[in-house]
Amino acid sequence: MIFNFLKHLRPVWYFNLRPSCDYAYFPTEEQLEDAGFKMKPDARYKCEEARKRDIAWRAFQKGFIAAGEEQGLDVWQPVVLPIEDEYRFLRKNFHAAWVLYVYVFRMLTFKNPFKETSAFLKTKNVKRVSYAEHCFTYPDYDNFESVLIQENPLISVVIPTLNRYDYLKDVFKDLENQTYKNFEVIVVDQTDDFREEFY
């Protein structure tokens, strides 16, 4: 768990096990510098470990890809971070409604109300960050030839659906626009008012 409060918003992170070779998914500051990328640490974090994890998360969100098989930051190692740092991370990465949800959830689960409220209020001026800007670019990938794509395997796309013909139409249009064409689409339609003419 990169930040502990993330488990409240993304319960699937419980199942995000550390891979046998992580390929620096969450890189260290040194790995970023070695690859020619410089990311400034967020000095507002109280804890050095939180600063490191924030850089690793930002690099991950911006599309950093390590060149070799070097291990990245061990974000699977549990650490106790200051509550203020946990709220700062949430505010930087999630909508304010989700931050409020975590605050209420933690209050209802009998966490220390003074510490929680203090940390929640101290971070109220933290703005949400957009990762869509200034992403890492890899010009070599424009000419990348995938061995798997060259083998041209048949891909099965299975779509379970229930009462969603409008959305299903958009999905079909998106599938038609795929550059890879060797695929089949299997629709499992359990709609109450089945419309055969749609297909």
DSSP string, 166-179: HHHHHHHHHHHT-S
Q: What is the mean pLDDT of residues 173-191?
A: 94
Q: What is the mean pLDDT of residues 13-37?
A: 84
Q: What is the mean pLDDT of residues 18-40?
A: 87
Give the residue carrying structure tokens 């200051």.
Answer: 82
Q: Is the pTM for the entire model greater than 0.85? A: no
- Candidate from 11-15, 76-80, 145-149, 194-198 with smallest mean pLDDT: 11-15
Q: What is the mean pLDDT of residues 108-135?
A: 94
pLDDT band at 109 (very low <50, low <70, confident <90, very high): very high
Q: pLDDT tens, 66-95?
A: 877 788 998 888 899 999 999 999 999 999
Residue pair 2/85 in contact (Cβ under 8 Å)? The answer is: no
Give the residue carrying structure tokens 């930051």.
Answer: 73
Give the contacts of 102 (CB within 8 A, at least 6 positions apart). 5, 8, 9, 87, 90
Task: Report the pLDDT value the prediction gives residue 193, as an integer from 0 to 100.
Answer: 87
Give the contacts of 56 (CB within 8 A, at least 6 positions apart). 2, 26, 27, 28, 72, 73, 75
- Candidate from 15-19, 111-115, 118-122, 183-187 with smallest mean pLDDT: 15-19
The one-character DSSP state at 19 is P
Which among 77, 104, 129, 81 has a CA at the least distance from the CA of 9? 104
Q: What is the mean pLDDT of residues 161-190?
A: 93
Give the residue carrying structure tokens 């505010």.
Answer: 91
Task: Report the pLDDT value the prediction gives residue 14, as an integer from 0 to 100.
Answer: 66
- Rounded Cα distance between 20 and 189, Å, is 38
pLDDT band at 126 (very low <50, low <70, confident <90, very high): very high
Alpha helices in 62-178 (DSSP H): 83-93, 96-108, 113-122, 147-151, 165-176
Task: Report the pLDDT value the prediction gives residue 132, as an integer from 0 to 100.
Answer: 85
Residue pair 165/198 in contact (Cβ under 8 Å)? The answer is: yes
Whether the per-residue pLDDT at 173 is higher than 90: the answer is yes
User: Which residues pair with residue 188 across a beta bridge?
Assistant: 160
